[in-house]
Amino acid sequence: MSNKGHSSGAGPSQRMLRVGEVIRRAMSETLMRGEIHDPDLNRLNITVTEVRMSPDMTVATCFVMPLGGKGADEAVKAMARNVGELRRMVGRVTKLKFTPELRFKLDDTFDRMEATRKLFDNETVQRDLAAKDDPDGNGDD
């Protein structure tokens, strides 16, 4: 069974990355100019942080985040509600032979970074890191 040169665990191809970035840029510009006819969507300042393409290039998963992180669920729902119009705009701007299906997910990168930062601030973690830096465990330099 061929998987077009992708081994399990392999990252995205250059083509997948390039097409994802073209779609991300097209969606960002469309949202910035307010070209979608939905007042709820147009009042939200939504950032398209990343677009990941499926290996067969038929699905584009768009990671979105509203400005300030407020109204995240509302933003994803508004994008999904306007998926047809967004897809037409993306197809027109990108001039891809086949415009992929668009799916929207909340970008939780910033939340995960904050959780990691808090983890490193934890006293127990700090103590463990200090012990790792001082293998003798005597605290002397």
Instruction: Classify residue 5: in a domain, yes or no.
Output: no
Instruction: Give the dihedral sign, CA 130/135/139/141.
Output: negative
Of 10 and 105, the one with more pLDDT: 105
Instruction: Classify residue 92: in a domain, yes or no.
Output: yes
Instruction: Classify residue 141: in a domain, yes or no.
Output: no
* Listed range (3-7, 48-52, 56-60) with the worst mean pLDDT: 3-7
| Domain boundaries, position 94 | 14-107
Instruction: Classify residue 124: in a domain, yes or no.
Output: no
Checking if the pLDDT of 129 tops 80, the result is no
Q: What are phi and psi of 116, to 5 degrees?
A: -65, -40
Instruction: Classify residue 101: in a domain, yes or no.
Output: yes
User: If you search the block for the tokens 């998987």, which residue do you land on?
Assistant: 3
Instruction: Classify residue 119: in a domain, yes or no.
Output: no
Q: What is the pLDDT of residue 72?
A: 83
Instruction: Classify residue 100: in a domain, yes or no.
Output: yes
* Predicted model pTM: 0.70
The beta-strand segments (E) located in the chain are: 46-53, 59-66, 101-106
Best mean pLDDT range from 1-5, 14-18, 106-110, 130-134:
14-18
Average model confidence (pLDDT) across the chain = 81
Instruction: Classify residue 62: in a domain, yes or no.
Output: yes
pLDDT over 90 for what percent of the chain?
36
pLDDT tens column, 81-115: 999 999 999 998 888 888 999 999 998 766 566 66
Q: What is the pLDDT of residue 75?
A: 87
How many structural domains is the chain composed of?
Answer: 1
Q: What is the pLDDT of residue 139?
A: 52
Q: What is the pLDDT of residue 101?
A: 94
Helix (H) and strand (E) counts in the chain: 6, 3
What CATH number did the domain enclosing 22 receive?
Answer: 3.30.300.20
Checking if the pLDDT of 6 tops 60, the result is no
